[in-house]
Structure 1
């Protein structure tokens, strides 16, 4: 009898603990790989995993609601689709159990290359944090038709403009949710990982009237590239820092930014985080306060906070020592995560809720 893979055992453990979203995402990742050599019983192993879960056949079920802060199922995780002149994109929407039609914040989360909304939700556990704060969370999904690796096309000049391309689709998803639910227009935020982080920076510059703050994890600044070649150059060596996307269409102030980046990231040069911070402080007189710390049993980090003379925080930059290209403090149920912290999800949500859109 074949032994269940360790990842399948971990999926069973997560499901038994009530963390069904994480368990399902882990199984979906396993199904997406090639079957190991000599594993003609691979699907039988999946069935045995279902038996292990006392009849819960996760691989045959749609993704259920994401778990709440107490580990029990809470809220709803909905499949949606949005279309406009630029095309169509699927997205997932988390509606917390505490939503009763009152005005609530909305967080838009943009996944990285090769990821999906389900995978990103499981890895970041943003739904769990949002359940505790009663926030809606949207996860736009990139398609393989738009990019073979399902990367957001942040590096193309045509995808950096207000009202065009992917920015218009992501902004359109945001506005559609505003029409369907009671969203506080002063508390709408956007964050992402890697290509998703770069896309979040683009959206912050193209739509500062829509997004009150941005979160860029292991990403790049808006306008860091014009095409694929310059995109790879920026990823490898960093960007100039003050490049602006052509036609972003606004003269409003820069939006506040929270940045996370591992100093051992070999996929996106950590200097790109400096560029995001520079854009957030553009034209402002700021001073920087630096602290350091260490997660118990995890990574050390340095935190650089830029504030105006009036005391308004314009950026937080978390540099995680020894970390690579992964979501800090994330769950191993998702891809590209580093459980050794610090907790990027909690810190990003805290930063967001402290930065409503100026009246």
Structure 2
């Protein structure tokens, strides 16, 4: 059995065997399944980044999960009374499913180096900011090239994967260094640990796949704010991501086709490929049949997809499904395709009626779950293979 099949089968088996058990016992079963798949190590205490002197503390408006210690302390009140019960629910299954979705207890995020090195992150400014709307608050980093702008700048929105942050993702993809050459702004939204303990974008939940709702509304609002305040070109805004970030990039392109001129999906999944945690795990095992055929979008945007054929976390069929999803015309017919083989990869291009390439699918032979052509200065990056960042910028900017 392949690694990704072993992982998902262990999780699904744990789900079935733990039904009816109390939350602690169910969580132990899930932990055993993750350890058996080699995806869970020893617990690491969380480290909180130090805020710069004089800077107002960051406040996330998302309420803590009902099972969390913080929520229980809130319910208990300042005098330590019991208050409303949050430790037990009508269904133990719902409780431990919430634990799995947010990250298992004891799996704190490792300490992170949030320092910025010009050699890694570029010679320009790497600004910090945040955006707030009804769905909550999210931090971000924004790279502004040192080279003076000659006009409105293109903007690339980069969505990190699980257990990553903007500094790590920028280092691994080297997107800032390439953006310095092309004069692009690069925006890195940061998922909050309060929304997902492993800092994954919640691409698999229906409420986070809709226009003007949840995380899509935060990312879109942040994008508009940066375009408005930092001289971005509204007609040249792009979105890309890795893994959970790649899946969310597909969601953003599907939900906001007037905002994003093109999308990049690396080791991700098609938009709408799941509607909850369990369907998300199944989708990671292999794209649903209807998605493999290509679910029709209202207004597809140009897309470039990268996926390793040895990806043990997200099955490669999801890359194919994302490509098909964005390559249907108004009548639901697939566009003309051409294939070319390169060193270690196969590239399929979809052409519109005018003969222009509007979508590309790069199948990376022998590659796993990592950003192709990236830098080991960041996580989940593979220096070998085509440079995904450079190819995405070429595709986006038409160079």
The TM-score, its normalising length taken from structure 1, stands at 0.76
Note the C-alpha offset of 1:100.
3.6
* CA distance in 1: counterparts of 2:357 and 2:43, whole angstroms: 44
Any idea what SS the aligned residue of 1:153 has?
Answer: coil
Checking the alignment, whether the CA contact within 8 Å between 1:65 and 1:76 is kept in structure 2 is no
The residue number in structure 2 matching 1:318 is 362
2:321 is aligned, of 233, 256, 275, to 275
Checking the alignment, whether the CA contact within 8 Å between 2:162 and 2:201 is kept in structure 1 is yes
The residue number in structure 2 matching 1:352 is 396
Note the C-alpha offset of 1:266.
1.1
Is 1:327 the equivalent of 2:379?
A: no
Checking the alignment, whether the CA contact within 8 Å between 1:258 and 1:316 is kept in structure 2 is yes
Note the C-alpha offset of 1:243.
4.2
Is 1:64 the equivalent of 2:108?
A: no
Any idea what SS the aligned residue of 2:211 has?
Answer: coil
* CA distance in 1: counterparts of 2:322 and 2:264, whole angstroms: 10
* CA distance in 2: counterparts of 1:338 and 1:60, whole angstroms: 20
Note the C-alpha offset of 1:61.
9.2
Any idea what SS the aligned residue of 1:340 has?
Answer: coil
Checking the alignment, whether the CA contact within 8 Å between 1:157 and 1:226 is kept in structure 2 is yes
Checking the alignment, whether the CA contact within 8 Å between 2:308 and 2:363 is kept in structure 1 is yes
2:132 is aligned, of 83, 87, 93, to 83
Q: Larger Cα Rg: Structure 1 or Structure 2?
A: 2
Alignment map for 1:250-329 (pairs within 5 Å) = 251=298, 253-283=299-329, 286-294=335-343, 300-329=344-373
* CA distance in 2: counterparts of 1:100 and 1:339, whole angstroms: 30
The residue number in structure 1 matching 2:284 is 235
Is 1:204 the equivalent of 2:250?
A: no
Checking the alignment, whether the CA contact within 8 Å between 2:309 and 2:367 is kept in structure 1 is yes
Unpaired segments ≥5 residues, structure 1: 1-31, 36-58, 245-249, 295-299
* CA distance in 2: counterparts of 1:117 and 1:201, whole angstroms: 19
* CA distance in 2: counterparts of 1:272 and 1:232, whole angstroms: 12
The TM-score, its normalising length taken from structure 2, stands at 0.68
Number of aligned residue pairs: 287
Checking the alignment, whether the CA contact within 8 Å between 1:224 and 1:243 is kept in structure 2 is no
* CA distance in 2: counterparts of 1:333 and 1:205, whole angstroms: 32
* CA distance in 2: counterparts of 1:305 and 1:137, whole angstroms: 26
Question: Aligned-residue CA RMSD in angstroms?
Answer: 2.3
**Cα deviation code 1:318-359 (max 9, x no counterpart):** 00000000000110011011111210010011101129xxxx
